[in-house]
């Protein structure tokens, strides 16, 4: 069968998706891996796949993608890029955060199978979410499979390096934009925006201070989280840190580093698998387990102290917290999650072949305005400027003074890059 895997973030998901693709090719399938944000809507009519493996459709944009694929008869499988939540942690969350994790739009009618990390989270989705439990498969910790593949690269001698892995994507989701499927303009969206903006400011000032005090001893690298803009860091830190390209994966960045500073990220586990110590500075992750897996700091002085105590080459992770994470969140960390995922996908493909499954896919994505917004239209009026959606490549029009619009065709939020220019997606 022809399978199209849509990668959400090259630096985080592509390594996983390529591993799943290789396992599927071993079953005899034709597999393509494409970037979702830049090619999602165009890839499907071009390739005409039998199966699409999509990122979690937590927002309108991704929900529209799986809905249209299903309408054309394509089997839709969702793979969760994030681990989700353990049972105890999930039920302590408020409804807004639960909505982010489970999705604010019902995707069950359009999805045949959902691949998740741990069984507890699969149970949570089956009880509190949209999917039936029988259609959810726990595969294990996808993000860590790459760390079980032997690294044969030779790394040159260098100064010891601190890698700062940011986690403040909500700081870039202003006004009419949303993050993680949150309804635009919600109070919780504003709360996250304020929290992430404040924490990012602390990070920038801390990095400046570290560079002033320890620039002769350490090199500093910055890895920007998928969905977060590099602009703020480049303008304030561009002369003192090396800002890594978006295409650089976590494993590449970590293998060229000695200490990790994060803000509540699964990269702490990745660092542990490479015997790299990590520090959680200005935590923004609501999961109380993941927030405690690394030593924590809220103030610059605390960060400076923990850095002085960290020993490159020796993990400082809290093993008892990691064991809880494996039991209640990640599932097995054994390098075989992608292999198990491919087996589930292949089983589904075999069932489809028994049913003589057929698709009816046109040669281009439809230009139907499914997401009408006041002031945004498909036909030009006097005083309008042209907007080009970078995702679905459809043209629409809006008044010159508008800074943000929602594409009426695919629903993605677009911002004006500069006056009278084509638009760009955040």
The residue among 363, 258, 253, 386 whose CA lies nearest residue 312 is: 258
DSSP state of 328: I
Residue 412: pLDDT band (50, 70, 90) is confident
pLDDT of residue 242: 93
- Separation of alpha carbons 338 and 21, rounded Å: 9
Would you kindly state where each structural domain of the chain is located, as residue ranges?
A: 2-140+336-354, 151-329, 376-425
**pTM, two decimal places:** 0.82
> From CA 23, how far away is CA 217, in angstroms rounded?
44
Other beta carbons within 10 Å of 9 = 17
**Bigger pLDDT: 342 vs 90:** 342
Q: Sheet with 2-7: list strands edge to edge.
A: 30-35, 2-7, 51-55, 75-79, 113-116, 136-138
Tell me what pLDDT residue 424 has. Answer: 46
Euclidean distance between the first and the last CA atom of the chain, given in angstroms as a whole number: 34
Helices (H), 27-116: 36-47, 60-71, 87-91, 95-102
363: left (phi over 0), alpha (psi -120 to 50) or beta: alpha
Whole-number pLDDT of residue 417 = 56
The answer to whether 100 and 181 have CB atoms below 8 angstroms apart is: yes
pLDDT at 423: 45
Binned at pLDDT 50, 70 and 90, residue 418 comes out as very low
User: What rounded mean pLDDT belongs to the chain?
Assistant: 88
Check residue 105 and give its pLDDT.
85
Strand 404-406 with 259-262, pairing: unpaired
- CB contact at 8 A, 183 and 125: no
Q: Residue 185's pLDDT is what?
A: 64
Predicted local distance difference test score (pLDDT) of residue 419: 39
Looking at residue 396, the DSSP 8-state letter turns out to be: E
State residue 421's pLDDT score: 42
148-157, 181-190, 231-240: which has the highest mean pLDDT?
231-240
Quote the percentage of the chain above a pLDDT of 90.
55
Per-residue confidence (pLDDT) for residue 4, from 0 to 100? 97
Topology of the domain comprising 2-140+336-354: Rossmann fold (3.40.50)
> Which residue bears the tokens 């911002």?
415
Q: 394: helix, coil or strand?
A: coil
**DSSP 8-class letter at 145:** G
Digit-coded pLDDT (tens) for 124-163:
999 999 999 999 999 999 999 999 988 877 777 888 999 9
- What 285-291 contacts at long range (C-beta under 8 Å, 24+ apart), as own/partner pairs, is 285/167, 286/93, 286/97, 287/85, 287/86, 287/89, 287/329, 288/89, 288/92, 289/86, 289/89, 289/321, 289/324, 289/325, 289/328, 289/329, 290/264, 290/265, 290/266, 290/325, 290/329, 291/264
> In CATH, what number does 151-329 get?
3.40.50.2000
- The 10 Å CB-count burial string (b at 16+, else e) for 197-231 is eebbebbbebbeebbeebeeebbbbbbbbebbebe
Q: For 43-76, what is each residue's pLDDT tens digit? A: 899 999 999 999 999 877 788 899 999 999 999 9
What is the tens place of the pLDDT at every residue in 243-274?
A: 998 888 889 999 999 999 999 999 999 999 99
Instruction: Kindly tell me if the per-residue pLDDT of 188 is higher than 70.
Output: yes
Residue 171: how many other CB atoms lie within 10 Å? 23
Q: Which residues contact 323 (CB under 8 A, 6 or more apart)?
A: none
Tell me how far apart the alpha carbons of residues 279 and 315 are, in angstroms, rounded to a whole number. Answer: 11
* C-beta separation of 315 from 271 below 8 A: yes
d(Cα 201, Cα 136) in Å, to the nearest integer? 39
């Amino acid at each position: 069968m022809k399978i199209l895997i849509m990668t959400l973030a090259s630096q985080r998901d592509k390594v996983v998706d390529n591993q799943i693709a290789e396992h599927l090719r071993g079953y005899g399938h034709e597999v393509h891996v494409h970037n979702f944000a830049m090619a999602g809507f165009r890839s499907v009519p071009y390739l005409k796949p039998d199966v699409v493996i999509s990122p979690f459709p937590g927002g309108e944009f991704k929900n529209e993608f799986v809905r249209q694929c299903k309408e054309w008869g394509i089997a839709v499988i969702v793979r969760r890029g994030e681990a989700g939540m353990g049972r105890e942690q999930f039920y302590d969350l408020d409804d807004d955060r639960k909505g982010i994790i489970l999705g604010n739009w019902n995707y069950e009618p359009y999805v045949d199978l959902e691949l998740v990390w741990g069984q507890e989270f699969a149970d949570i989705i089956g009880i509190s979410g949209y999917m039936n439990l029988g259609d959810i498969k726990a595969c294990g910790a996808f993000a860590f499979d790459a760390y079980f593949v032997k690294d044969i690269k030779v790394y040159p001698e260098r100064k010891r390096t601190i890698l700062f892995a940011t986690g403040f994507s909500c700081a870039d989701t202003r006004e009419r934009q949303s993050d993680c499927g949150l309804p635009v303009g919600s109070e919780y969206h504003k709360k996250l925006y304020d929290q992430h903006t404040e924490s990012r400011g602390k990070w920038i000032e801390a990095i400046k201070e570290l560079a002033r005090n320890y620039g002769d001893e350490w090199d500093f690298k910055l890895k920007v989280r998928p969905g977060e803009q590099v602009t703020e860091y480049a303008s304030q830190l561009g002369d003192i840190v090396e800002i890594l390209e978006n295409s650089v994966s976590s494993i590449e960045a970590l293998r060229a580093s000695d200490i990790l500073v994060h803000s509540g990220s699964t990269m702490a586990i990745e660092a542990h698998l490479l015997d790299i110590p990590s520090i959680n500075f200005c935590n923004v992750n609501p999961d109380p387990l993941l927030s405690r897996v690394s030593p924590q700091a809220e103030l610059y002085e605390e960060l400076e102290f923990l850095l002085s105590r960290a020993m490159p080459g020796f993990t400082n992770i809290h093993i008892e917290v990691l064991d809880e994470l494996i039991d209640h969140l990640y599932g097995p960390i054994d390098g075989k999650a992608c292999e198990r995922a491919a087996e589930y996908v292949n089983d589904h493909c075999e069932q489809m072949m028994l049913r003589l499954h057929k698709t009816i896919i046109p040669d281009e994505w439809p230009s139907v305005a499914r997401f009408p917004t006041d002031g945004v239209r498909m036909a030009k009026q006097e005083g309008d400027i042209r907007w080009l959606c970078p995702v679905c490549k459809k043209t629409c029009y809006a008044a010159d003074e508008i800074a943000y619009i929602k594409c009426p065709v695919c629903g993605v939020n677009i911002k004006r890059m500069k006056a009278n220019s084509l638009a760009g997606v955040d």
